[in-house]
Chains A and B, each alone.
Chain A
Amino acid sequence: MHKYRAFVPYFFLFPALAILFFFQFFAWGWNINIALRDVTIMNFRRAWPFVGLQNFRDIFTDPVTLITLRNTAIFATTGIVSQLLIGTGIAYLLFRAERKVENIFRPIFIIPWLTSVLVASFGWRLVLGRDTGIVNMLISSLGFEPISFIGHPATAMLAIVIANIWRGTPFTILLMNSAMTSINPQLVEASKIDGASQWTFYTKIALPILKPFILMNTILITVWTINAYGLILNMTGGGPLNATRVFPLHGYLAAFSEGRFSFAAGITMLSVLMTLVLIYFYLRFYDVELVD
């Protein structure tokens, strides 16, 4: 009954998928080409000499790379752990709350997800600002000197971590909340009748059901957190003294403020590979049967 020629579905798919193919998969190929040559701002429009793996040697012998890896580890671990704990906690509280209460808080909690990275950056820069911030208002009312959060290495890291938690947590709240809603209420009742304690219910029944969601969520926020350099670029530009220069930002700055395109392409390749490994694990849990 559904009669159409075999090429028709591909006709419908073509524009969207061609664009994605060009920007993702084709771009990687092009990126490998750049990474194996020596392209800088000097010869960007001229011939690119082939240098093999030299750029990767440069990346791993660059002392700044080590700092950026350490920064990424700090930024990602604190960000991911906080987002998971806070997000799941808030999701649970929303789940337990009455309908009326949930309807008040839910729209508020998704606001950061909807705003752009730039709004998150500007907002937190103003909140934490030395001359504009409510935080420094409190600090000075306690009798201390106001501090410039993005002006000092340790506090700059704190500032970007907070802004990232602010922006990233809504996703976990939504995902975990809908996961909890999917637990069959009859199951809750049945466990009560069986006399299972709350603790047994959570650890023996709820947790196994939620486990795949927690796993999916963890992989997704890991992918987004380790690659989220837009926020940092705008808030601190990687400074002060490279204190907030994370690995992908290292690549961005190498290309666009230092003109070392091939070095940056090498970093892009490493980031993409790292991300693809994470995505592979994600896809193994994802229900692809959905489309069939």
Chain B
Amino acid sequence: MTEKRVRIFILVAWAIFTLLPIYWVLDISFQPEISFPPQLAPLNPSLTHYTSLLNERLVVTGLLNSLLVSVVAALVSVVITTMAGYAFARLEFKGKKLLFIGLLMAFLLPPNLNIVPIFSLFSELGILGSRYGMVFLYQLLVTPLNIFLFMNYFNTVEDAIVESAILDGAGVFQRYYRIFMPLAKPALVAGFIFAFRFSWSEYVYATTMVSDNSKILFTAALERAIFSGQYTVNFGYMASGAMFLALPVVVILLFGQKYLELGLQLGGVD
């Protein structure tokens, strides 16, 4: 029995390590006065960091812009990746294997790697710093993962349903939006949340590509608010801002856990 205790002990230790930064962010975000030594739990919990963060005009602009960009990016993603997932799962075509390998490569290549050429290309195209440019760019982060998600999901649809639709005279397009799309509703939600999450919390491109204050995204605005003091870092903003960033994750954990595993099996780190 002692060996079993050791095993549980190690699991608990790793769980503590995993939860520590999350707990600490939560703890700091509710402490009105952050001073050393910090409190292990907020003695006088208050929402002051949240309210003053939401009183920063740039942060509010950033929140609204990020909301717009993330929702549009997620909608676009769901449309284009269900289409591609449908083709990979259910249609026959020449070059399937080659395109699939290309897709895998695109999935494995870290998107941040290409920031220099993308910055230059966006500048040449005149879409540098535009919100719709960012919608377009954020497809890069999530497209491969969502194609895998929908491909796997469409593969699980029983052939009998498809066969009977074909007998009823449903063509390839009708099958896509009359059979596969309605059946995939739960996966659509998961794909939407995945895509939303990536765009919502993306940092490197958001801070580099957008310089116009009216188009600033949340992560960039947050970064500026945290370091707006000349010599001081606003830790309250850092903590409460992190909670805003983690919000979609909470939603995923509460509602999307069933589909999470599928996405997780396919991996992907931003």
Contacts and interface: CB of A to CB of B under 8 A. Distances in A.
Interface of A: 1-2, 4, 6, 8-10, 12-13, 15-17, 19-21, 23-28, 30-31, 34, 39, 44-45, 86, 89-90, 93-94, 96-97, 101, 105, 107-120, 122-127, 129-134, 136-137, 140-141, 146, 166-168, 171, 174-175, 178, 220, 223-224, 227-230, 233-234, 248, 251-252, 255-256, 261, 264-265, 268, 271-272, 275-276, 279, 282-283, 286, 288, 291-292
B203 A30 contact: no
Interface of B: 7-8, 10-11, 14-15, 17-22, 24-25, 28, 34-38, 40, 79-81, 83-84, 86-88, 91-94, 96-97, 99-106, 108-121, 123, 136-137, 139-140, 143-144, 147, 151, 163, 166, 171-172, 176, 197, 200-204, 208, 219, 223, 235, 238-239, 241-242, 245-246, 249, 252-253, 257, 260, 264-265, 267, 269-270
B34 A131 contact: yes
30 contacts: A4-B172, A8-B91, A15-B84, A20-B139, A23-B139, A24-B105, A26-B121, A28-B117, A93-B11, A105-B15, A108-B18, A110-B260, A113-B269, A119-B21, A122-B25, A122-B241, A126-B25, A131-B34, A132-B34, A132-B235, A167-B269, A178-B265, A223-B109, A234-B203, A255-B115, A265-B116, A275-B110, A275-B113, A288-B97, A288-B104
Nearest to B37: A137
B119 A230 contact: no
Contacts of B8: 97, 101
A270 to B, nearest CB: 11
A19 B203 contact: no
Most buried by B among A120, A123, A127: A123
A101 B11 contact: yes
A12 B113 contact: no
A137 to B, nearest CB: 5
B17 A166 contact: yes
B139 A227 contact: no
A137 B37 CA distance: 6
Given A4-B171, A230-B203, A271-B113, A134 B22 contact: no
Contacts of B208: 256
Q: Which of B176, B235, B267 is most buried by chain A, counting CB atoms within 10 A of its CB? A: B267
Given A6-B93, A9-B91, A16 B147 contact: yes
Given A13-B87, A126-B239, A261 B120 contact: yes
Given A134-B24, A261-B116, A20 B140 contact: yes
B36 A131 contact: yes
Given A90-B11, A279-B109, A118 B34 contact: no
A27 B106 CA distance: 12
A264 B113 contact: no
Contacts of A265: 116-117
Given A13-B99, A127-B24, 6 more contacts: A108-B19, A111-B253, A114-B260, A132-B38, A174-B265, A261-B120
Contact of B202 (A20, A113, A116, A292): A116
Given A109-B15, A118-B203, A261-B116, A123 B24 contact: yes
B267 A111 contact: no
A126 B24 contact: yes
B40 A134 contact: yes
